[in-house]
Amino acid sequence: MVLENLEEVNQRILSACKRAGRDPGEVTLVAVSKTKPASMIEEAYSAGIRDFGENKVQELCEKYEELSKDIRWHMIGHLQRNKVKQVIDKAVLIHSVDSLRLAEQIEEEAAKKALTVDILLEVNVAEEESKFGFRLDDTECAIRKIALFPHVRIKGLMTIAPFVENSEENRFVFKKLRQFYVDMQSKNIDNVNMNMLSMGMTGDYEVAIEEGATLVRVGTGIFGTRYKIGENEV
């Protein structure tokens, strides 16, 4: 099932690129494997997928130990400061830096390990109460502060768009983040070289690609539905 799903997702990515006149080489599919077993990850791996996304530090660390070392693990979920030190040497990219304090913690732990950690700033474009992330209005200020941290490298921006019935409803969210991203690129802030835009999930990745996403995070579309425990989707 994973292989068939992947084929379909890859086709849809290609079509979206074609519609937008984009080179498919600019778009990386991050297969979101949270809650899914190693066997399913291996199936996707056998089809050539190397980028996998997890939203919990413990799960990412366990899978990191268990699975192939050439997998690129992406931390995409809200990160607690006390877990930063476990994840910074395992994830290739932290998509979900949602506060200055978290960035400071990453800087501190990265300095101890003499690492440079690549991050994206998570932006709550639609200003949903329930979501983490910087308000768009506060993001430039945060970028300018974090740009001064020697062990952290801002590679771009990430957003989680609202849950909607029709993905077209999220087009303005992606457009808005992309506009801001281009604006930031043009400001040539020292030590900031933004070339990654992480946006789009199973329900809306095609629209996100049309609007400029360079990383799409697709879980359900590849691995099928996740189970829910209580109120929290796991």
Task: Provide the binding-site residues for ligand PLP, judged by CB under 6 A.
Answer: 32, 34, 55, 76-77, 160, 201-203, 217-221
Nearer to ligand PLP, 191 or 202 (CB): 202
Task: Find the shortest distance in angstroms from Cβ 166 to ligand PLP.
Answer: 15
Nearer to ligand PLP, 124 or 149 (CB): 124
Nearer to ligand PLP, 16 or 149 (CB): 16
Structure tokens at 164: 């909607």
For 165-194, letters b (16+ CB in 10 Å) and e give eebeebbebbebbbebbeebeeeebeebeb
If one counts every other C-beta atom within 10 angstroms of the C-beta of residue 24, the result is 14
In this complex, which beta carbon is closest to ligand PLP, that of residue 23 or of residue 231?
Answer: 231
Output the smallest distance, CB 211 to ligand PLP, in A. 16
In angstroms, give the least distance from the CB of 217 to ligand PLP: 4
Provide, rounded to whole angstroms, the least separation between the CB of residue 118 and ligand PLP. 17
Instruction: Measure the CA–CA gap between 74 and 55, rounded to whole angstroms.
Output: 8
41 Cβ contact list (under 8 Å, min separation 6): 31, 33, 52, 63, 67, 71
Q: 133: phi > 0 → left, psi -120 to 50 → alpha, else beta; which? A: left
Shortest separation between residue 223's beta carbon and ligand PLP, angstroms = 8
Q: Rounded to whole angstroms, how far apart are CA atoms 1 and 17?
A: 24
Residue 212 or 219 having the CB closest to ligand PLP = 219
Give the residue at shortest CB distance from ligand PLP.
219
